[in-house]
Amino acid sequence: MANEEKVVYNAPSEIKEIRVINTYELEDEARKIVPKGGFDYMSGASGDEFTLRQNNEAWNKKGIIPRVLADVEHPDPSTSIFGIDIKVPFIMAPIAAHGLAHQTKEAGTARGVSEFGTIMSISAYSGASFNEIEEGLNGSPRWFQIYMSKDDELNKNILDEAKADGATAIILTADSTLSGNRHRDERNQFVYPFGMPIVSRYLTGSGKNMSLNNIYAQSKQKIAPRDVKFIAEYSGLPVFVKGIQSPEDALLAIGAGASGIWVSNHGGRQLDSAPGSFATLEGISEAVAGRVPIVFDSGIRRGEHIFKALASGADIVALGRPVLYGLALGGWKGVYSVLEYFEKDLKRVMQLAGTQTIADIKKARLFDYK
Amino acid sequence: MANEEKVVYNAPSEIKEIRVINTYELEDEARKIVPKGGFDYMSGASGDEFTLRQNNEAWNKKGIIPRVLADVEHPDPSTSIFGIDIKVPFIMAPIAAHGLAHQTKEAGTARGVSEFGTIMSISAYSGASFNEIEEGLNGSPRWFQIYMSKDDELNKNILDEAKADGATAIILTADSTLSGNRHRDERNQFVYPFGMPIVSRYLTGSGKNMSLNNIYAQSKQKIAPRDVKFIAEYSGLPVFVKGIQSPEDALLAIGAGASGIWVSNHGGRQLDSAPGSFATLEGISEAVAGRVPIVFDSGIRRGEHIFKALASGADIVALGRPVLYGLALGGWKGVYSVLEYFEKDLKRVMQLAGTQTIADIKKARLFDYK
Amino acid sequence: MANEEKVVYNAPSEIKEIRVINTYELEDEARKIVPKGGFDYMSGASGDEFTLRQNNEAWNKKGIIPRVLADVEHPDPSTSIFGIDIKVPFIMAPIAAHGLAHQTKEAGTARGVSEFGTIMSISAYSGASFNEIEEGLNGSPRWFQIYMSKDDELNKNILDEAKADGATAIILTADSTLSGNRHRDERNQFVYPFGMPIVSRYLTGSGKNMSLNNIYAQSKQKIAPRDVKFIAEYSGLPVFVKGIQSPEDALLAIGAGASGIWVSNHGGRQLDSAPGSFATLEGISEAVAGRVPIVFDSGIRRGEHIFKALASGADIVALGRPVLYGLALGGWKGVYSVLEYFEKDLKRVMQLAGTQTIADIKKARLFDYK
Amino acid sequence: MANEEKVVYNAPSEIKEIRVINTYELEDEARKIVPKGGFDYMSGASGDEFTLRQNNEAWNKKGIIPRVLADVEHPDPSTSIFGIDIKVPFIMAPIAAHGLAHQTKEAGTARGVSEFGTIMSISAYSGASFNEIEEGLNGSPRWFQIYMSKDDELNKNILDEAKADGATAIILTADSTLSGNRHRDERNQFVYPFGMPIVSRYLTGSGKNMSLNNIYAQSKQKIAPRDVKFIAEYSGLPVFVKGIQSPEDALLAIGAGASGIWVSNHGGRQLDSAPGSFATLEGISEAVAGRVPIVFDSGIRRGEHIFKALASGADIVALGRPVLYGLALGGWKGVYSVLEYFEKDLKRVMQLAGTQTIADIKKARLFDYK
């Protein structure tokens, strides 16, 4: 390809602990060192970024009520999901192309996540192979996120590899059958500067020098309950359907055999004008009614957000951009610093809200701003 | 007229495809090349432009809910109205004086609309004659928008000509019996730099060097159901009443023989402090109850807006300013680029909202921001 | 008084028609030519000026619905109150110290009001005497606004003079038993640069070089229904109670013999954190239930505002600051220009809202922004 | 300690009356003269300072309705609590480390409060000893606020001293079992520049050069109803539980023997995302139902705020930051000036709202902004 030469992408490479005071600021720090195309891809969203902003603003409709006579000390944020014990109710969300943030790619994130001690989600659009990621993950628990091929034999192939790699759950991303209207990427004419080894089998090319539009166009678009069923039956693993924003889809997914609901609007990157992800959680949780666990993502930036999501029906939450900014700023150690911050911040919130355990959070009443 | 000499108006003349990423930006681009008086006339509105802003903000009260297991691929936005099949549920709105935007005037717009493949609305205040417009339209479907004379014989005259030109529907603009309080035009002491051949028969002068205030003053002000009846009976064509913002007027119009309701607040150009046009749509649609089709305009800038309007009861929408900015920026090719963008954006939204057809959109539930 | 010498106040003196496009802009224009102390006194309000802003923002909670098939032409805004026919439903509000705005003082305003053809309200805190004002008023209808003395004999005195001057109604200002917390005046250490001939009988001094705080402190503070009764009985004239912001006070006033209710929050100048005046109108109007006429003021800047006030229960509205700015900018001709603007703007709104008469406005349904 | 030398903290020392027009401005004035670390500690709050802003914004959801025929003159703001008569319904809130604001420390505040004539709350984290404070307080009424040790014998010790000092009530701060997430202090690496004589018995060190995090970590975290009971029984004094933000905690506190409820969110310094303190008051007041008095703090900056708090169920309010800024700007005389301002402002509001007494305020209906 003629313009393959022209792509030069210098991702950061430093590895160091970072000081985290406020995770919103990590974005500003990352902007300074990540090449513009990559930074815009990571931080941007679709359309007027209305939904991206809603992801932040939705939190402000609900308040946490301080509780002061609750006899709490050293709150315990540990929980478990599908038999995996985790010390905190948050995990790493699946994100494509960590190599945009740091030269160690997904292996860097994996090491930070593994050393901290939670679950890593490996994206089908990883820039690293399973083997490369394993170098960082080092046997820690991992889930695999799949973007499906139009060819189910290739999907079986990918699922076989993910299982062989040790994935204990499959996350079916269903909200991205084509790319959102991402103005920043369009202006930058952004293409991935490296290949995507896991899905390259169904792309014309390796993924390198391809735009997201182009990659999605080669992936499966007709996602339906039968796909949930297919993955669940073929893999024999619990399947999450990711991108659920309505009670209807949650019920369809469960009916089709999903073992978990993943509430997300893809960080505001898909359908602009969609509600803030948190605004949809309570309704979905009521429909799910405890049948399966709920993972929540899109907009988590503070311990308070984790608390609000759990109090509104989520069982765990997934962190995305802040961790990726941590990766950019300090490699695996930066990832570790960010996760540690969230743990500390959540414990503080639990103490001030009078909740000793995750179960206490789930029973907490939130304040309704009118 | 003494100051006829002084009016020099250099409209843009370039013809080229334009790159459309976000239609809001077209306004900024057009501002750079369209003479100030003309630009302000096109983009401005009445009073404090409160209603103009409401036209944008009203969209944000409703969200589109992503649907992810809907088995959709290659959504089909085609529809039909009064027996005309169109490949998209949007048409060109009637707008006066396209010559302010481009030297090819309405013929330029008409060619872009016709090559793209939707319906052209010809304004009674066109700066081009039917014959000149036909050069661009080239036999494509067109509707005629009428501003009535105080003299019904002249109205008959105009309707005869419109029918002879091939109009298949008449749009009676009823919301402009006098000009809105347009500060920008008043500051600019704006007058039209060219005549209006279709209505010049009832003006003292050609329309050239006349202000909109002046032109409206010479047009009919007492619009009533009898006018709807008169136009329907005399023309034998389906009649839309344009400018409907209340259930009451919708029912009056249907009672008087209207074949369609055109919900619009004239782009915020008439009564400032009127609600955003989209905010009135649902109530009107409930009153109309499917008796006649509903066209919606005022504020459409994204595929999401088309989706929301259709989900709230509109059958098709009409595009105004963005197309005119496309005309300014690239003549008929610019018009084409803008229409193509809306088609692509709408299809993307349909896919992400899990809607295969226009009928699916009309059944979609919107999210209610509180 | 020692500092009597130091007060030099150069009010504008030009007399000319002014061009009014948007009355909000008159404030900016006036700021340029009126001495700062006087300008701040006229334009400022109390506290954080929260209520002043609410007076503007309250309008935006209600929209006017365009009506397009109403068969309206040449709408008629004339009305009458207490037997006085006026060509428009607006009058001049009572305001202190017009001499701050223009050297012609209240006589200038009176001439503009009288030539235009509506009712003048003469403030007890006028800087001009009845005789001086009569030069401008020239026999036109006038009402007299009273700030009461603590001594009822002096009040009788003042009422006698007002009646002798031809007042046909008395406006009892009841919301100003002490001065609001006006930061601007306090910073400026503002004192009136001229005396107040009407009330000087009960001041220690003429009013000149006195602060408003000081003047109010010498006026009556214990206002009660008995005062309404006293004024009504002694004067034999219709009495308005001005400053009503609650249904309870409206009923107390009517019970005590008030012939009219004047809804006002004194332009945001008294109790900061009070609601926008328009926000209180509907509730008051429901309580009054047509027993007596309602005058509304505080925040009228557009024809739309007059319409909304009338549609919410007011019978007429009173204009304050915009007229005073007109006085500053052009003397009596400036006053005339402003009043003419409001008439034209109101007629335009009436036409676009499909209302032929004031009675039609009073029946119009407003749009409720949620 | 090695870095004990490096701490140099030059607090202001001037003693003078100050001119108070708007208490919000005192913060800007204080910022100019108080060392940054101390100023940020006093003025800052936790997290994104969302709750700090909510403390201000919550007032704007309720309006005070002007009442104009209420026959009020010289309103009387005096009240009493636990047998102490006070001339105003506001007291001094407990605040740590006044020495950050002024070299006279708590003695300065105490003198201003005592000369003005209301109740002083002495914080356990005072930088001055009881004896030093007494120099300013001079026999005036005082309450003692306790942060508990983990060792109840030490708590008894402290309570004994407070009683010996003359405290007539104990305020148990229950909302601060660890420090809020205070970004400003973290950035400044703020440590107290002087010791805390009252609690130093249970700290490793005097408090000097210790961060708040560190100090809270050495204090008691497991606060429960039994602590309320312990303090009430041991001290024999009325106990307030401070930091109540929910009806549930109010009832728990009363059940455990609290003699008063202190509604506060610690000035937004603890749990960010908590509601504005005023937003919680009405619900708590309904639950308390008059069983015990309610003190309110967090966000009082105007007489209007005092009125709104009382009309929503509070019996008295406590002032914090504005008084501390007064201390910084003018020592005890600055404190006096600020208290005097609040008294004057409250009386003005009482007059304009037609309320003669505190009992009248408590019966007033507030306006509900929708």
Enumerate the active-site residues of A.
266
Chain C: give the shortest CA distance to residue D70, in Å. 6
| Contact present, A335 and A111 (Cβ < 8 Å) | yes
Domain range holding D243? 24-368
Residue in A70, A71, A304 nearest the CB of D273: A304
CA distance to B56, C60, C365, D186, per residue, from B275 (Å): 11, 10, 13, 48
Chain B: give the shortest CA distance to residue C26, in Å. 14
Chain A: give the shortest CA distance to residue B128, in Å. 36
B259-289: b or e for each residue (b if 16 or more CB lie within 10 Å)?
A: bbbbbbbbbbbbbbbbbbbbbbbebbbebbe
d(CA B113, CA B92): 7
pLDDT at B111 over 60: yes
Radius of gyration of chain C, Cα coordinates, nearest whole angstrom: 19
Confidence of residue B6 (pLDDT cuts 50, 70, 90): low
Confidence of residue C8 (pLDDT cuts 50, 70, 90): confident
CB contact under 8 A, B222 and C69: no
Closest-CA residue of chain C to B262: C68
pLDDT at B172 over 60: yes
What CATH number should be reported for the domain holding residue A78? Answer: 3.20.20.70
Strands B62-64 and A366-368: unpaired
pLDDT at D1 over 80: no
Residues in chain A with CB shorter than 8 Å from the CB of D261 are none
D98 is in an annotated binding site: no
Query: Hey, CA dihedral for A317, A320, A322, A327, is it positive or negative?
Result: positive
| Contact present, D326 and D33 (Cβ < 8 Å) | no
> What is residue D142's three-state secondary structure?
strand
Average pLDDT over residues B49-55: 97
Model pLDDT, residue D260: 98
Chain A: give the shortest CA distance to residue B264, in Å. 22
Q: Which residues of B touch A (CB under 8 A)?
A: 21-22, 24, 59-60, 63-74, 302-304, 308, 345, 348-349, 351-353, 367, 369-370
Chain A: give the shortest CA distance to residue D202, in Å. 18
Model pLDDT, residue C32: 98
| Contact present, A237 and A167 (Cβ < 8 Å) | yes
Model pLDDT, residue B8: 84
Query: Hey, CA dihedral for A278, A279, A284, A286, is it positive or negative?
Result: positive
D54 is in an annotated binding site: no
The answer to whether chain C touches chain A by having 3 or more C-beta pairs less than 8 angstroms apart is: no
CB contact under 8 A, A60 and D50: yes
Written as tens digits, the pLDDT of chain A (370 aa) is 344 445 589 999 999 999 999 999 999 999 999 999 999 999 999 999 999 999 999 999 999 999 999 999 999 999 999 999 999 999 999 999 999 999 999 999 999 999 999 999 999 999 999 999 999 999 999 999 999 999 999 999 999 999 999 999 999 999 999 999 999 999 999 999 999 999 998 888 888 999 999 999 899 999 999 999 999 999 999 999 999 999 999 999 999 999 999 999 999 999 999 999 999 999 999 999 999 999 999 999 999 999 999 999 999 999 999 999 999 999 999 999 999 999 999 999 999 999 999 999 999 999 998 7
Chain D: give the shortest CA distance to residue A257, in Å. 37
Candidate list B98, B102, B266, B305, residue with the active-site label = B266
| Contact present, C310 and C282 (Cβ < 8 Å) | no
Mean pLDDT estimate for chain C: 96
d(CA C123, CA C121): 6
Residues in chain B with CB shorter than 8 Å from the CB of C304 are 47, 271-273
d(CA C283, CA C294): 12
CA distance to A278, C343, D140, D300, per residue, from D86 (Å): 48, 56, 11, 18
d(CA A231, CA B7): 71
Average pLDDT over residues D285-305: 98
Model pLDDT, residue D3: 45
Residue C14 lies in a domain: no
pLDDT at C6 over 90: no
Model pLDDT, residue A7: 58
CA C246 to chain centroid: 18
Query: Hey, CA dihedral for A257, A263, A269, A272, is it positive or negative?
Result: positive
d(CA C192, CA C234): 31
d(CA C154, CA C336): 35
d(CA B79, CA B77): 7
Residue A209 lies in a domain: yes
Q: In what order do the strands lie in the sheet with B294-296?
A: B90-92, B316-319, B294-296, B260-263, B239-244, B170-173, B142-146, B120-123
Residue B15 lies in a domain: no
CB contact under 8 A, A66 and D253: no
| Contact present, A341 and A17 (Cβ < 8 Å) | no
pLDDT at C273 over 50: yes
d(CA A275, CA B369): 8
Chains that touch C (3 or more CB pairs under 8 A): B, D
Tell me the CA end-to-end span of chain D in Å, nearest whole number: 56
Radius of gyration of chain A, Cα coordinates, nearest whole angstrom: 19
Residue B58 lies in a domain: yes
Q: Which two tokens stand for residue B335?
A: 């018009």
Residue in C21, C65, C73 nearest the CB of B187: C21
Q: Which two tokens stand for residue D236?
A: 């024999």
| Contact present, D140 and D114 (Cβ < 8 Å) | yes
CA D220 to chain centroid: 20
d(CA B101, CA D142): 76
Residue with tokens 């695999």: A144
DSSP string, B92-140: EPP-S-GGGT-TTHHHHHHHHHHHHTSPEEEETT-SS-HHHHHHHHTT-
Average pLDDT over residues B43-65: 97
CB contact under 8 A, D271 and A370: no
Residue in D21, D64, D70 nearest the CB of C183: D21
Give the 3-state secondary structure of D293-344: CEEECCCCCCHHHHHHHHHCCCCEEEECHHHHHHHHHHHHHHHHHHHHHHHH
pTM: 0.96
C78 is in an annotated binding site: no
Q: Which two tokens stand for residue C229?
A: 């009764």
The residue count of chain A comes to 370
Model pLDDT, residue B5: 47
| Contact present, B323 and B336 (Cβ < 8 Å) | no
Residue D15 lies in a domain: no
Residue in A183, A187, A271 nearest the CB of B66: A271
Q: Is A71 left (phi over 0), alpha (psi -120 to 50) or beta?
A: left
Closest-CA residue of chain B to A48: B22
Q: Which two tokens stand for residue C89?
A: 């439903």
CB contact under 8 A, B68 and A249: yes
Average pLDDT over residues B209-232: 94
pLDDT at B67 over 90: yes
Closest CA to B281 of B257, B320, B307: B307
A173 is in an annotated binding site: yes
pLDDT at D284 over 50: yes
CB contact under 8 A, D241 and A64: no
Q: Is D166 left (phi over 0), alpha (psi -120 to 50) or beta?
A: left
Residue C258 lies in a domain: yes
Model pLDDT, residue C1: 37
Model pLDDT, residue D8: 84
Give the 3-state secondary structure of chain A: CHHHCCCCCCCCCCCCCCCCCCHHHHHHHHHHHCCHHHHHHHHCCCCCCHHHHHHHHHHHHEEECCCCCCCCCCCECCEEECCEEECCCEEECCCCCHHHCCCCHHHHHHHHHHHHCCCEEEECCCCCCHHHHHHHHCCCCEEEEECCECCHHHHHHHHHHHHHHCCCCEEEECCCCCCCCCHHHHHHCCCCCCCCCCCHHHCCCCECECCHHHHHHHECCCCCHHHHHHHHHHHCCCEEEEEECCHHHHHHHHHCCCCEEEECCHHHCCCCCCCCHHHHHHHHHHHHCCCCCEEECCCCCCHHHHHHHHHCCCCEEEECHHHHHHHHHHHHHHHHHHHHHHHHHHHHHHHHCCCCEHHHHHHCCEEECC
Residues in chain B with CB shorter than 8 Å from the CB of A241 are 68-69
Reported as a single tens digit per residue, the pLDDT across C161-179 is 999 999 999 999 999 999 9
B/C interface, count of CB pairs below 8 Å:
95
d(CA B202, CA B219): 8
Confidence of residue C7 (pLDDT cuts 50, 70, 90): low
CB contact under 8 A, D175 and A70: no
Give chain C's domain count: 1
Q: How many CB atoms lie within 10 A of CB C365?
A: 11
d(CA A134, CA A130): 6
Q: What is the dihedral of CA D79, D84, D87, D91, to 10 degrees?
A: -90
Closest-CA residue of chain D to C50: D60
- Measured in degrees and rounded to the nearest 5, phi and psi for residue B209 equal 65, 15
- Which of C20, C67, C68 would you mutate first to test chain B, the one with the most B CBs within 10 A? C68
Q: Is C203 left (phi over 0), alpha (psi -120 to 50) or beta?
A: beta
pLDDT at C4 over 80: no
For residue D169, the one-letter residue type is A
pLDDT at D204 over 90: no
CB contact under 8 A, C178 and D351: yes
Residue D340 lies in a domain: yes
CB contact under 8 A, A274 and B63: yes
State yes or no: is C266 an active-site residue.
yes
3-state helix, strand, coil in chain B (%, to 5): 45, 15, 40
Residue with tokens 């989706």: B307
Identify how many contiguous H helices and E strands chain D contains and give both numbers.
14, 12
Residue in B21, B24, B349 nearest the CB of A271: B349
Residues in chain B with CB shorter than 8 Å from the CB of C370 are 61
A291 is in an annotated binding site: no
CA distance to A344, A362, D125, per residue, from A68 (Å): 19, 18, 19
Chain D: give the shortest CA distance to residue A136, in Å. 32
Average pLDDT over residues D82-104: 98
Residues in chain D with CB shorter than 8 Å from the CB of C58 are none
C173 is in an annotated binding site: yes
Residue with tokens 């989209």: B278
C321 is in an annotated binding site: yes
d(CA B39, CA B44): 8
CB contact under 8 A, A352 and D275: no
Residue A38 lies in a domain: yes
Confidence of residue B83 (pLDDT cuts 50, 70, 90): very high
Binding-site residues of B for FMN, in ranges, read 94-96, 123, 145, 173, 242, 264, 297-301, 320-321
CA A24 to chain centroid: 17
pLDDT at B3 over 80: no
